[in-house]
Amino acid sequence: MAKGKREYVWLECKECSNRNYRTSVNVSEGTPKIELKKFCSKERKHTVHKIRRK
Ligand SMILES: [Zn+2]
């Protein structure tokens, strides 16, 4: 087992709030402040995505 608490989260588009990706992150120290440039399937372009926990 990996160290720390891992949780599945959404990667949500900052522009249209579409939840495009699922990933697992280490949340033992709170929600990571990660922003990733990802392809948004709704807008059909690359936008910044942020982590959204349930
Ligand atoms: Zn979008």
- Write out the chain's pLDDT in tens, 54 residues: 557 899 999 999 999 999 999 999 999 989 999 999 999 999 999 999 999 997
pLDDT at 4: 84
> How much is the CA Rg of the chain, to the nearest whole Å?
12
DSSP structural state of residue 30: B
**Measuring CA to CA, which residue among 21, 22, 50 is closest to residue 35?**
50
CA of 39 to the centre of ligand 1 (A): 8
Ion ligand 1, residues whose Cβ is below 5 A away: 13, 15-16, 18, 40, 42-43, 47
pLDDT at 2: 58
Rounded-to-integer distance, Cα 40 and Cα 21, Å: 9
Rounded-to-integer distance, Cα 5 and Cα 47, Å: 28
> pTM for this structure?
0.84
pLDDT at 5: 92
Question: CATH fold of 6-52, please?
Answer: Rubrerythrin, domain 2 (2.20.28)
How distant, in Å, are the alpha carbons of 1, 11, 13, 44 from that of 41? 33, 12, 10, 5
